[in-house]
Structure formats: C-alpha cells, structure tokens
Amino acid sequence: MRLKDYYAPTLKNTPSAAGTASEQLAVRAGLVRKEAAGLYHLLPLGRRVLRRLEDISLKDMEREGYQEVMVTGGREAVGKLAAEIKSYKQLPLKLFTLDVDYRGNAKPSFSLSGSRGPLTLGMYHVGVKDPVSPIKHLKTFCHQIARKCAVKARWVGAPSGLDGARQALVLLAASEAGETGFVTCPGCGYTATVEAAEFSRPIPPAEPALPMEKVLTPGVRTMARLEEFLGVKESKTIKTLIYHVAYQDRVEPVGAMVAGERAVNEQKLAGVLGADSLRLATKEEAREVTGCSTGFSGPVGLKVRLIADPEITGMVNGVAGANEDDYHLINVNPGRDFGWHQMADIGMVREGDACPHCREPLQFARGTGLGRIALYGETWSKRSGAAITGEDGKEAPMELVFAELDLSRLGAVIIEQNHDGNGICWPAATAPFQVVLVQVKSNDAHHSAAAEALYRQLADRGYTVMLDDRDERAGSKFKDADLIGYPVRVVIGQALERGEVEVTARATGETRTVKLEEIVAAIEKIIPED
Ligand SMILES: [Zn+2]
C-alpha cells in the first residue's frame, strides 16, 4: 500500500482527555473514529488489525482440529447438533464460531469493534466424561493467542452457577483501568475475581459469654462510628442488611449478616437463596421489617429469613443493632441470642483477608476481561438431549466445554500493553502492516525507483508493507511511523548513495544501517518467522 492513497488520518494531539491510553492512541493513529459513547467506526488500519486476529484464530483453531460453523443461539444450537450424535466414535465434537457477538452486553470500555458488537471467537468442545483435558487445552490455547499478541493475561476463577456453568474462569489482562477486580495469593498462587473469591475467616479468641445488654447509642448509624462510640473492634460488630429478594413466584425480605464493615457479596447471596434478583431494601421497606431506622437493625428478635456469614456465627460477645432507634445490643452471642436459617459465605473479600488454602494475606489487582471458559454439564445436556448410550447400555450425558475470546477487546489490550510515549508498538503478528518504507525525498526519481524495488522485494517475501511516499517533511513521516507503530521502519535517505538504508525496530528503537542486499536478513532479526 502507498500511504499517499491510504485512508489513515493521524492526529498530532489527543482529541480529548477522555478515555484510556488505548482509546486515545487508536484515535490518534487513525485506527478508529468515535461516533458516540461506546460506538466506533473501524477505519482501514483498525479493520486490518482485527483481520489479523481473525487470521490467527482461524489458523490456530483449524490446527487444533476445530471446525467452523455459523449458528444461531450459541450453546443451545450446539446442543441440538450434538443430540444427533449417537456413537462414541463421533466424539469429541469440536466446533468454533468467529462472529460478531450481538448480545450487546454493555461493556463500556474501549475495544476494536464496529457498532454491531465485538468480534468473538467461540469454542465448543462436546464430549463425555473427562472435561479436564479440554478445559486445560483450551486454556492453554487462549493463552497462546494472547502471547502471540504480546498480551500478558491470566485465567482467574469466576463465579459459576449463574447460567448453569460449572468451573467458570475468566481470562484477565492485568490493567489498572480494568473493570474486573480480582485477588491473588502470593503464597500459593490462588486467584479469583472478587465476586468468586473465597477466604478464611479469622477465629476469634475464646472468652466467656457475657449477659446481653441494651445500650443507648444516639445517632450512631455506621459501623465506623459504632466502633468509636463503644470502643469495640470491627470484628465484633454484626451488620444486618435487609434485602428485597425476588423469586420466580414471590418477593420476600431477607436479612443478611456480615461482620463489621465487610460488604455483602450480592452475587453469592442470590446464589445461596436461589433468587432471581435482589436489591437492598429501601428505608421504608426495611423499617417494616425492623421497626427502626437504617443503622439500628440487628438479628435479635427479627422475624425474617436470616442468612449469616460464618464470620458472624463464631462471634463471642458481639455488638448488633437493637431494632430500636438509638439503641444497640452488646454481648450478643449467636446461637444463644438469635438463630439463623442458613450459614453461608456471603461476605465480600477484602484486601489482606487470609487465603483459603494457605492463609497468606490476599492481594488485590484489576484486569480487563478478554474471555472466559466454563463447563456445562447435565443442565445443558438435558435441555438439548445431548446424550449417548454407552457400552454398558446406560445413557451418559454429554458435557460441553465452552470458551470464548473477545478479539475486539484483545485488539485494544494489545495497544494498552504495547505502547510508549510516541505511539503504538505492534507485535508483528497483529500489526496492520509489518514494515513501513519511509522515502525521505518523495520527488527524487532514483529514490522512488529504489523504494519501488524494495517494496516489491519485501512484499514478495510475504511481508505486509506500507510505502510512505507522501510529500511531507521527513520528521512528520517518522512521527507517523512511530504513532501507527509498524514493527519495522526502513528509511530510504542519503545513505542510498552508498547503497544502504536504515532499519529500525519500533519496539527497541535500535537502528542499523544495512546494505540493500542484506535488508531481508535485517528484518528477519526483528520479525522472526513463525
Ligand atoms: Zn494461598
């Protein structure tokens, strides 16, 4: 391609301070244009990057023996296809889709997607028993694609059970601006999203249970104030939150108890209750249950379904609201002074909580979701009738290992993890063009002829090449080359008189002057053949 005729509108400055580094660079380098919040047009360079990601996915999936299909309805559709299979010999069934994900689940963060939604690679492995190896295999496979794109990412435990999935994991790229919080254990490597994270509750020191007392605590509505006012430790305070819980056939208020300033993990609470949805009760709804203002509710004498976090049930001489304005109860002892309908892990993890496996303090980090993997078992196979009669004559349900990779998001994360102050540094595998030829003197016939010859030589070798033959100052051509981020820059300038050109690696900035006949060797040093 010739840049003179190519639509790559670069901008010297960032059009607005808003957005992440990847969004700003994609706009400046002429990959995308913003239409409205969360809506972009992919320009030729941006579309080429997405095309590279498609190429990688296609090639690698076929190498792994997966066959491409276009289906409506994702997992359900694959279930129906699998239901036609009658023999073990036809399993595993390995299919993939490479399509725009129309679900339009609002992902506000920037990605290389057109207005219709992100381009997504969906992977379906249908088999019986042993789901462990396909899970392991697809995890590695997605990792390898990320590595080709010079993206650092890790699989992290995610909440399961939401859509009938078991063993759900998400692929997260480390990013401070990421939308997903997760914990990691420096001791044993345990990792999970904050919604899925488990942790060990501290064991309170033994002490004799004292008689419960009601104390005046005027205006003390928050846990922090309560600790200050009564001089008790946070680990001894019982927070009781009233939720408005909706089931398929009814609504019901539910009390959720967690210790101190810990938040309730609403996703886990909904799972424990088997609820369709839930939200915190309004002040008025809560008052109907507790008879008091927010901040003075407690479990003693409360006539609703109560769910207690294990941190509560082990407490001795705790403090709780008295269900009466301006009063609290001290020396509250679970089991003696109140009961609960169910004990369940509903407390939200906090930084420094103990790892459930080795008790090291957990650390917090943030990441951008690139994909996920999950196992769908009996619920899925029953719905679609995907079962097989085994040699023993018994019917065995099939299992689906489903993975997906958001290629549009991956494109944005490549930029986020591979850029410097001058622009993008594309890894060779996903660069819109791998080599840019910068012709310094655009109106010199000798230089033009040399540029033409080099262009053809490199294109014949299989490189994707952009020839910058614009009538611009050399400085602005170099700036654009850095901004767009071609992995290799070849400068045809004064050294041409000696039969030489300058070759620069974008990622390292290293420049070498090489003879024309050595150019391929010099480029191969920067872009190794895969
Ligand atoms: Zn650990």
Locus of tokens 């992100």: 118
The runs of H, that is alpha helices, within 265-424 are: 266-273, 283-290, 310-313, 378-384, 407-417
Average pLDDT over residues 392-405: 89
Asked if residue 138 lies in contact with residue 373, where contact means CB atoms within 8 angstroms, the answer is yes
d(CA 199, ligand 1 centre) in Å: 9
Reported as a single tens digit per residue, the pLDDT across 226-255 is 888 888 888 899 999 999 999 989 999 999
* Comparison of pLDDT for 105 and 169, the residue scoring more: 169
In eight-state DSSP terms, residue 29 is T
In eight-state DSSP terms, residue 235 is G
d(CA 279, ligand 1 centre) in Å: 32
Same domain, 270 and 183: no
Half-sphere exposure of 268 (CA within 13 A, CB side): 22
* Comparison of pLDDT for 503 and 115, the residue scoring more: 503
d(CA 173, ligand 1 centre) in Å: 21
d(CA 262, ligand 1 centre) in Å: 21
d(CA 201, ligand 1 centre) in Å: 14
d(CA 282, ligand 1 centre) in Å: 38
Same domain, 159 and 12: yes
Domain assignment of residue 427, yes or no: no
The whole-angstrom separation of Cα 512 and Cα 505 is 9
Query: Nearest to residue 510, comparing CAs of 492, 495, 494, 523?
Result: 523
With 60 as the cut, is the pLDDT of residue 106 above it?
no
d(CA 387, ligand 1 centre) in Å: 39
- Please, which residues bridge with residue 156 across strands? 170
Work out the end-to-end distance of the chain between its first and last CA atoms, rounded to an integer number of angstroms. Answer: 23
* Comparison of pLDDT for 419 and 39, the residue scoring more: 419
Same domain, 410 and 276: no
Domain assignment of residue 507, yes or no: yes
Same domain, 511 and 382: no
d(CA 189, ligand 1 centre) in Å: 6
Average pLDDT over residues 155-170: 83
d(CA 362, ligand 1 centre) in Å: 7
- Please, which residues bridge with residue 255 across strands? 242, 306
d(CA 167, ligand 1 centre) in Å: 19
Reported as a single tens digit per residue, the pLDDT across 439-477 is 999 889 999 999 999 999 999 999 999 999 999 999 999
d(CA 160, ligand 1 centre) in Å: 21
Reported as a single tens digit per residue, the pLDDT across 70-90 is 998 888 999 999 999 888 888
CATH number (domain holding residue 472): 3.40.50.800
CATH number (domain holding residue 314): 3.90.960.10
d(CA 358, ligand 1 centre) in Å: 4
What is the DSSP code string of 182-221? EEE-TTT--EEETTT---BPPPPPP-PPPPPEEEE-TT--
The whole-angstrom separation of Cα 225 and Cα 261 is 11
Write out 388-425 in H/E/C secondary structure. Answer: EECCCCCEEECEEEEEEEEHHHHHHHHHHHCEECCEEC
CATH number (domain holding residue 408): 3.30.930.10
Same domain, 149 and 268: no
d(CA 17, ligand 1 centre) in Å: 40
d(CA 196, ligand 1 centre) in Å: 15
Same domain, 149 and 79: yes
- CA dihedral angle for residue 135, residue 137, residue 140, residue 142, rounded to 10 degrees: -70
d(CA 193, ligand 1 centre) in Å: 14
- Please, which residues bridge with residue 515 across strands? 500
Summary count for the chain: helices (H), strands (E) = 13, 28
Same domain, 469 and 382: no
Three-class SS state of 458: helix
The pLDDT value recorded for residue 503 is 97
d(CA 185, ligand 1 centre) in Å: 5
Domain assignment of residue 204, yes or no: no
Last residue within a domain, chosen from 311, 343, 375: 343
Query: Strands 363-376 and 318-321: what pairing?
Result: unpaired
d(CA 236, ligand 1 centre) in Å: 25
Domain assignment of residue 207, yes or no: no
In this prediction, residue 512 has a pLDDT band, given cuts at 50, 70 and 90, of very high
Three-class SS state of 165: strand
In this prediction, residue 204 has a pLDDT band, given cuts at 50, 70 and 90, of confident
Q: Report how many domains make up the chain.
A: 3
The whole-angstrom separation of Cα 138 and Cα 408 is 19
The whole-angstrom separation of Cα 336 and Cα 314 is 12
Which residues have a Cβ under 8 Å from the Cβ of 458 and sit 6 or more positions away?
435, 437, 465, 519, 520, 523
Domain assignment of residue 393, yes or no: yes
The whole-angstrom separation of Cα 225 and Cα 321 is 13
d(CA 126, ligand 1 centre) in Å: 33
The whole-angstrom separation of Cα 273 and Cα 456 is 67
The pLDDT value recorded for residue 494 is 93
d(CA 191, ligand 1 centre) in Å: 9
Residue type, 322: A
In this prediction, residue 162 has a pLDDT band, given cuts at 50, 70 and 90, of low
d(CA 162, ligand 1 centre) in Å: 26
Same domain, 75 and 221: no
Domain assignment of residue 57, yes or no: yes
Structure tokens that stand for 156 in this block:
């992290």
The pLDDT value recorded for residue 202 is 87
Same domain, 193 and 255: no
Structure tokens that stand for 369 in this block:
């979701």
Asked if residue 461 lies in contact with residue 520, where contact means CB atoms within 8 angstroms, the answer is yes
Same domain, 410 and 486: no
The pLDDT value recorded for residue 528 is 81
Average pLDDT over residues 114-133: 87
Three-class SS state of 37: coil
d(CA 410, ligand 1 centre) in Å: 29
In eight-state DSSP terms, residue 177 is T
**Cα→Cα distances 434→437, 487, 489, Å:** 10, 6, 9
Same domain, 269 and 295: yes
Average pLDDT over residues 495-509: 96
How does the average pLDDT of the chain come out, rounded? 92
Structure tokens that stand for 54 in this block:
């498609």
| Structural domain that includes position 444 | 433-526
Domain assignment of residue 203, yes or no: no
Average pLDDT over residues 30-52: 91
Same domain, 40 and 92: yes
In whole angstroms, how large is the CA radius of gyration of the chain? 30
Domain assignment of residue 16, yes or no: yes
The pLDDT value recorded for residue 341 is 96
d(CA 169, ligand 1 centre) in Å: 18
